[in-house]
Structure 1
């Protein structure tokens, strides 16, 4: 039998910081100047030249998939490119 392990608030705060750091790495430009792999809602709206309501409709009807982290929604750049090319169903 293993002894019980307690998780403290400090442990949770440390985990939160590490998780946020990793998420930020995923959405930022990499060191080689390549484009982002994930875009925020306002970036997608500017790229597609659509309103917030239109973007919401794309999410609701499943045309454009997204990932929510907290209150921020992220969209894969590959999915947006497929949508622009007419290949995303």
Structure 2
């Protein structure tokens, strides 16, 4: 398993995104699916998959993730790439 190094810039970017999401939440605005980072439950709901399937996607390297303090985060762009990469044409 590859080790990822989180830089101060990564943490600052995450902090800004989190603060924006919290501001939107307190103002009654829904957090859009286009947020840059999604949590596991959001990915499962978006893809309509089980926790086991999500784990399989992580383990086999199909879906990249970042783990901060025990919480897994996924880039929305990676999920879009996964969906569009597996499209079948008729």
Q: CA deviation digits over 1:8-67, x for unaligned, max 9?
A: xxxxxxxxxxx5x75332345487x87310000000000000000000000000000000
Seen in structure 2, the aligned counterparts of structure 1 residues 23 and 85 have a Cα distance that, compared at 3 Å, is: same
Give 1:80's aligned residue: 79
Give 1:25's aligned residue: 16
- 5+ residue gaps, structure 1, are 1-18
Between the two proteins, the alignment pairs up a number of residues equal to 67
SS in structure 1 opposite 2:85?
Answer: coil
Give the TM-score taking structure 1 as reference length.
0.63
How far, CA to CA, are the matches of 1:26 and 1:67 in structure 2? 15
How far, CA to CA, are the matches of 2:38 and 2:78 in structure 1? 11
SS in structure 2 opposite 1:85?
Answer: helix
Aligned counterparts, 1:64-75, within 5 A = 64-75=63-74
- 5+ residue gaps, structure 2, are 1-10, 25-30
| Structure number with higher relative contact order (C-alpha < 8 Å, ≥ 6 residues apart) | 2
How far, CA to CA, are the matches of 1:39 and 1:67 in structure 2? 10
